[in-house]
Amino acid sequence: MQTFQDQIVVVTGATRGIGRAITLAFLNQGATVLGIYHTNRQSADQLLADCHDLKKKLFLFQCDISNEEEVASFYQEIELKFSSLDVLVNNAGIRKDAFLALMQTSDWRSVLDINLTGSFLMAKQAVLLMMKNKYGRIINITSPVAHLGFAGQANYAASKAGQIGMTRSLAKETAKKKITVNCISPGFIETDFLHGLSKDQIEAYKNMVPIRRFGTPQEVAEAVLFIAGKNASYITGAVLDINGGL
Ligand code: NAP
Protein backbone atom coordinates (compact mmCIF):
# COMPACT_ATOMS: atom_id res chain seq x y z
CA MET A 1 0.00 0.00 0.00
CA GLN A 2 1.26 3.48 -0.81
CA THR A 3 0.66 5.63 2.27
CA PHE A 4 0.69 8.99 0.50
CA GLN A 5 -1.27 8.06 -2.63
CA ASP A 6 -3.25 11.11 -3.85
CA GLN A 7 -1.48 13.45 -1.45
CA ILE A 8 0.23 16.68 -2.46
CA VAL A 9 3.51 17.30 -0.63
CA VAL A 10 5.73 20.40 -0.75
CA VAL A 11 9.39 19.95 0.18
CA THR A 12 11.83 22.89 0.33
CA GLY A 13 15.48 22.20 -0.43
CA ALA A 14 14.14 19.16 -2.27
CA THR A 15 17.03 18.38 -4.59
CA ARG A 16 20.02 17.87 -2.28
CA GLY A 17 20.90 16.14 0.98
CA ILE A 18 18.09 15.46 3.43
CA GLY A 19 15.46 17.11 1.22
CA ARG A 20 16.31 14.85 -1.71
CA ALA A 21 15.88 11.75 0.48
CA ILE A 22 12.55 13.09 1.79
CA THR A 23 11.37 13.79 -1.76
CA LEU A 24 12.28 10.29 -2.97
CA ALA A 25 10.65 8.68 0.07
CA PHE A 26 7.35 10.51 -0.53
CA LEU A 27 7.44 9.69 -4.25
CA ASN A 28 7.98 6.02 -3.42
CA GLN A 29 4.90 6.15 -1.20
CA GLY A 30 2.69 7.48 -4.00
CA ALA A 31 2.72 11.23 -3.27
CA THR A 32 2.91 14.02 -5.81
CA VAL A 33 5.87 16.12 -4.70
CA LEU A 34 6.30 19.81 -5.42
CA GLY A 35 9.96 20.36 -4.70
CA ILE A 36 11.64 23.72 -4.22
CA TYR A 37 15.30 24.32 -4.98
CA HIS A 38 17.19 27.60 -5.04
CA THR A 39 20.46 27.88 -6.98
CA ASN A 40 21.58 24.41 -7.96
CA ARG A 41 19.93 23.44 -11.27
CA GLN A 42 22.39 20.59 -11.73
CA SER A 43 21.12 18.80 -8.61
CA ALA A 44 17.55 19.39 -9.76
CA ASP A 45 18.29 17.78 -13.14
CA GLN A 46 20.08 14.90 -11.44
CA LEU A 47 17.10 14.23 -9.16
CA LEU A 48 14.72 14.21 -12.14
CA ALA A 49 17.03 11.77 -13.94
CA ASP A 50 17.24 9.50 -10.88
CA CYS A 51 13.46 9.40 -10.45
CA HIS A 52 12.83 7.33 -13.60
CA ASP A 53 9.09 6.44 -13.70
CA LEU A 54 8.33 8.53 -10.62
CA LYS A 55 9.36 11.65 -12.57
CA LYS A 56 5.77 12.28 -13.64
CA LYS A 57 4.82 12.91 -10.00
CA LEU A 58 7.69 15.30 -9.27
CA PHE A 59 7.41 19.02 -10.07
CA LEU A 60 10.42 21.19 -9.34
CA PHE A 61 10.26 24.95 -8.79
CA GLN A 62 13.06 27.46 -8.42
CA CYS A 63 12.19 29.73 -5.51
CA ASP A 64 14.02 31.66 -2.82
CA ILE A 65 11.98 30.84 0.28
CA SER A 66 13.16 34.01 2.00
CA ASN A 67 11.59 36.16 -0.72
CA GLU A 68 7.92 36.86 0.01
CA GLU A 69 6.99 37.58 -3.62
CA GLU A 70 8.63 34.39 -4.89
CA VAL A 71 6.87 32.32 -2.22
CA ALA A 72 3.53 33.96 -3.11
CA SER A 73 4.04 33.16 -6.84
CA PHE A 74 4.93 29.56 -5.99
CA TYR A 75 1.71 29.12 -4.02
CA GLN A 76 -0.38 30.86 -6.70
CA GLU A 77 0.97 28.39 -9.23
CA ILE A 78 0.35 25.32 -7.09
CA GLU A 79 -3.13 26.47 -6.10
CA LEU A 80 -4.03 26.77 -9.77
CA LYS A 81 -2.52 23.41 -10.74
CA PHE A 82 -3.17 21.25 -7.66
CA SER A 83 -5.80 23.11 -5.59
CA SER A 84 -4.92 21.39 -2.30
CA LEU A 85 -1.94 20.71 -0.07
CA ASP A 86 -1.53 17.87 2.43
CA VAL A 87 2.06 18.13 3.66
CA LEU A 88 4.69 20.87 3.88
CA VAL A 89 8.26 19.97 4.82
CA ASN A 90 10.30 23.08 5.63
CA ASN A 91 13.69 21.52 5.04
CA ALA A 92 15.77 24.17 3.20
CA GLY A 93 18.45 25.69 5.37
CA ILE A 94 21.91 27.21 5.35
CA ARG A 95 24.69 27.91 7.81
CA LYS A 96 27.26 30.72 7.81
CA ASP A 97 29.44 30.04 10.82
CA ALA A 98 31.56 32.57 12.70
CA PHE A 99 32.14 33.49 16.31
CA LEU A 100 29.48 36.00 17.27
CA ALA A 101 31.96 38.82 17.98
CA LEU A 102 33.30 38.45 14.44
CA MET A 103 30.03 37.66 12.67
CA GLN A 104 28.97 39.90 9.80
CA THR A 105 25.48 41.29 10.31
CA SER A 106 24.70 40.19 6.74
CA ASP A 107 25.52 36.56 7.72
CA TRP A 108 23.31 36.84 10.80
CA ARG A 109 20.45 38.18 8.69
CA SER A 110 20.73 35.74 5.76
CA VAL A 111 20.68 32.67 8.04
CA LEU A 112 17.66 34.01 9.94
CA ASP A 113 15.98 35.07 6.68
CA ILE A 114 16.29 31.66 5.02
CA ASN A 115 15.99 29.25 7.95
CA LEU A 116 13.37 31.04 10.03
CA THR A 117 11.58 33.66 7.93
CA GLY A 118 11.58 31.24 4.97
CA SER A 119 9.86 28.61 7.13
CA PHE A 120 7.35 31.23 8.29
CA LEU A 121 6.53 32.39 4.74
CA MET A 122 6.10 28.81 3.51
CA ALA A 123 3.99 27.79 6.53
CA LYS A 124 1.76 30.87 6.36
CA GLN A 125 0.54 30.11 2.84
CA ALA A 126 0.38 26.36 3.55
CA VAL A 127 -1.91 26.85 6.55
CA LEU A 128 -4.33 28.94 4.47
CA LEU A 129 -4.56 26.12 1.91
CA MET A 130 -4.73 23.32 4.50
CA MET A 131 -7.51 25.06 6.45
CA LYS A 132 -9.79 24.73 3.43
CA ASN A 133 -9.50 20.92 3.65
CA LYS A 134 -9.33 20.78 7.44
CA TYR A 135 -6.26 18.56 7.15
CA GLY A 136 -2.54 19.06 7.01
CA ARG A 137 0.92 18.17 8.22
CA ILE A 138 3.67 20.77 8.60
CA ILE A 139 7.15 19.51 9.44
CA ASN A 140 10.02 21.87 10.18
CA ILE A 141 13.57 20.54 10.10
CA THR A 142 15.37 22.02 13.09
CA SER A 143 18.64 21.00 14.81
CA PRO A 144 19.91 19.94 18.26
CA VAL A 145 21.94 23.17 18.15
CA ALA A 146 18.65 24.95 18.91
CA HIS A 147 18.83 23.87 22.55
CA LEU A 148 22.50 22.84 22.92
CA GLY A 149 24.13 25.82 21.20
CA PHE A 150 27.39 25.46 19.28
CA ALA A 151 30.40 27.78 19.20
CA GLY A 152 30.39 29.65 15.89
CA GLN A 153 26.71 29.00 15.19
CA ALA A 154 24.82 31.73 17.08
CA ASN A 155 22.91 32.72 13.94
CA TYR A 156 22.12 29.13 12.98
CA ALA A 157 21.14 28.14 16.55
CA ALA A 158 18.88 31.19 16.87
CA SER A 159 17.16 30.33 13.57
CA LYS A 160 16.63 26.70 14.59
CA ALA A 161 15.39 27.63 18.09
CA GLY A 162 13.04 30.09 16.39
CA GLN A 163 11.63 27.29 14.26
CA ILE A 164 10.78 25.32 17.40
CA GLY A 165 8.98 28.28 19.00
CA MET A 166 7.10 28.89 15.76
CA THR A 167 6.19 25.20 15.51
CA ARG A 168 4.78 25.01 19.05
CA SER A 169 2.75 28.21 18.62
CA LEU A 170 1.37 27.28 15.20
CA ALA A 171 0.49 23.79 16.46
CA LYS A 172 -1.82 25.41 19.01
CA GLU A 173 -3.37 27.69 16.38
CA THR A 174 -4.17 24.91 13.92
CA ALA A 175 -5.00 21.93 16.15
CA LYS A 176 -8.77 22.37 15.77
CA LYS A 177 -8.42 22.28 11.98
CA LYS A 178 -6.68 18.89 12.15
CA ILE A 179 -3.41 20.41 10.98
CA THR A 180 -0.45 19.10 12.95
CA VAL A 181 2.84 21.01 13.16
CA ASN A 182 6.02 19.31 14.33
CA CYS A 183 9.79 19.51 14.17
CA ILE A 184 12.25 16.81 13.22
CA SER A 185 15.68 17.45 14.72
CA PRO A 186 18.46 15.59 12.92
CA GLY A 187 21.91 15.33 14.48
CA PHE A 188 25.00 14.98 12.28
CA ILE A 189 23.75 13.78 8.88
CA GLU A 190 26.02 12.99 5.95
CA THR A 191 25.27 15.73 3.41
CA ASP A 192 27.04 18.69 1.79
CA PHE A 193 26.04 20.62 4.90
CA LEU A 194 28.98 19.08 6.74
CA HIS A 195 31.50 20.00 4.01
CA GLY A 196 34.41 22.00 5.29
CA LEU A 197 34.89 19.88 8.42
CA SER A 198 38.42 18.53 8.84
CA LYS A 199 39.11 14.79 9.29
CA ASP A 200 39.87 15.43 12.96
CA GLN A 201 36.60 17.32 13.45
CA ILE A 202 34.65 14.49 11.79
CA GLU A 203 36.30 11.95 14.07
CA ALA A 204 35.65 14.10 17.16
CA TYR A 205 31.97 14.64 16.25
CA LYS A 206 31.45 10.93 15.53
CA ASN A 207 32.87 10.18 18.97
CA MET A 208 30.29 12.53 20.51
CA VAL A 209 27.47 10.39 19.06
CA PRO A 210 26.61 7.35 21.22
CA ILE A 211 25.81 5.31 18.04
CA ARG A 212 29.34 6.33 16.84
CA ARG A 213 28.46 7.33 13.29
CA PHE A 214 26.71 10.11 11.40
CA GLY A 215 23.14 9.51 10.27
CA THR A 216 21.96 9.17 6.67
CA PRO A 217 19.43 11.38 4.89
CA GLN A 218 17.24 8.26 4.49
CA GLU A 219 17.07 7.81 8.26
CA VAL A 220 15.73 11.36 8.58
CA ALA A 221 13.29 10.79 5.72
CA GLU A 222 11.81 7.74 7.52
CA ALA A 223 10.98 9.93 10.52
CA VAL A 224 9.46 12.63 8.32
CA LEU A 225 7.21 10.09 6.63
CA PHE A 226 6.08 8.76 10.00
CA ILE A 227 5.12 12.18 11.35
CA ALA A 228 3.53 13.19 8.03
CA GLY A 229 1.32 10.11 8.01
CA LYS A 230 -2.40 10.10 8.73
CA ASN A 231 -1.75 7.80 11.70
CA ALA A 232 0.37 10.45 13.45
CA SER A 233 -2.82 12.38 14.19
CA TYR A 234 -2.19 12.92 17.94
CA ILE A 235 1.37 14.26 17.58
CA THR A 236 1.57 18.02 17.35
CA GLY A 237 3.94 20.68 18.71
CA ALA A 238 6.55 17.96 19.17
CA VAL A 239 10.27 17.79 18.39
CA LEU A 240 11.46 14.36 17.29
CA ASP A 241 15.22 13.79 17.64
CA ILE A 242 17.01 11.70 14.99
CA ASN A 243 20.54 11.98 16.29
CA GLY A 244 22.03 8.65 17.33
CA GLY A 245 21.53 9.46 21.00
CA LEU A 246 23.30 12.86 21.23
P1 NAP B 1 22.20 20.82 2.09
O2 NAP B 1 22.65 19.50 1.55
O3 NAP B 1 23.19 21.93 2.19
O4 NAP B 1 20.93 21.32 1.23
C5 NAP B 1 20.32 22.54 1.52
C6 NAP B 1 19.13 22.72 0.61
O7 NAP B 1 18.48 23.98 0.94
C8 NAP B 1 19.49 22.79 -0.86
O9 NAP B 1 18.57 22.03 -1.59
C10 NAP B 1 19.34 24.28 -1.22
O11 NAP B 1 18.93 24.51 -2.57
C12 NAP B 1 18.21 24.68 -0.28
N13 NAP B 1 18.19 26.12 -0.04
C14 NAP B 1 19.16 26.87 0.53
N15 NAP B 1 18.79 28.17 0.54
C16 NAP B 1 17.55 28.23 -0.02
C17 NAP B 1 16.64 29.28 -0.31
N18 NAP B 1 16.92 30.56 -0.02
N19 NAP B 1 15.46 28.97 -0.89
C20 NAP B 1 15.16 27.70 -1.22
N21 NAP B 1 15.98 26.65 -0.97
C22 NAP B 1 17.17 26.92 -0.40
O23 NAP B 1 21.60 20.67 3.56
P24 NAP B 1 21.04 19.38 4.37
O25 NAP B 1 22.14 18.82 5.16
O26 NAP B 1 20.27 18.50 3.46
O27 NAP B 1 20.10 20.13 5.41
C28 NAP B 1 18.69 20.20 5.25
C29 NAP B 1 18.10 20.77 6.53
O30 NAP B 1 18.48 19.94 7.64
C31 NAP B 1 18.58 22.18 6.87
O32 NAP B 1 17.51 22.93 7.38
C33 NAP B 1 19.62 21.96 7.95
O34 NAP B 1 19.72 23.06 8.82
C35 NAP B 1 19.02 20.75 8.65
N36 NAP B 1 20.01 19.96 9.40
C37 NAP B 1 21.06 19.37 8.75
C38 NAP B 1 21.97 18.61 9.50
C39 NAP B 1 23.13 17.90 8.86
O40 NAP B 1 24.00 17.43 9.60
N41 NAP B 1 23.18 17.75 7.57
C42 NAP B 1 21.81 18.52 10.89
C43 NAP B 1 20.73 19.17 11.51
C44 NAP B 1 19.84 19.88 10.74
P45 NAP B 1 20.04 24.72 -3.77
O46 NAP B 1 20.97 23.56 -3.68
O47 NAP B 1 19.26 24.72 -5.04
O48 NAP B 1 20.70 26.05 -3.53
Q: Which residues contact 177 (CB under 8 A, 6 or more apart)?
A: 130, 131, 134, 135, 136
pLDDT in tens, the chain (246 residues): 679 999 999 999 999 999 999 999 999 999 999 999 999 999 999 999 999 999 999 999 999 999 999 999 999 999 999 989 999 999 999 999 999 999 999 999 999 999 999 999 999 999 999 999 999 999 999 999 999 999 999 999 999 999 999 999 999 999 999 999 999 999 999 999 888 889 999 999 999 999 999 999 999 999 999 999 999 999 999 999 999 999
Q: Which ligand 1 atom lies nearest to the CA of residue 144? A: 43
pLDDT reported for residue 1: 67
Give the per-residue pLDDT at 196. 85
CB 221 within 8 A of CB 21: yes
Q: Ligand 1, from 122, 193, 194, 224: best to mutate by most atoms within 8 Å of Cβ?
A: 193
Does the global pTM surpass 0.85? yes
Q: Is the CB of 92 under 6 A from ligand 1?
A: yes
**Ligand 1 lined by 192 (C-beta under 6 Å):** yes
Active site residue 156: yes
CA of 156 to the centre of ligand 1 (A): 12
**Ligand 1 center to residue 243 CA distance, Å?**
17
- CA 184, 190, 193: angle at the middle one, nearest 5? 80
Contact 103, 94 (CB under 8 A): no
Burial of 194 (0-12, 13-18, 19+ CB in 10 A): middle
Does the Cβ of 19 fall within 6 Å of ligand 1? yes
- Domain annotation for the chain: domains and CATH numbers: 8-242 (3.40.50.720)
Distances (CA, A) of 100 to 71, 114, 145, 147: 30, 19, 15, 17
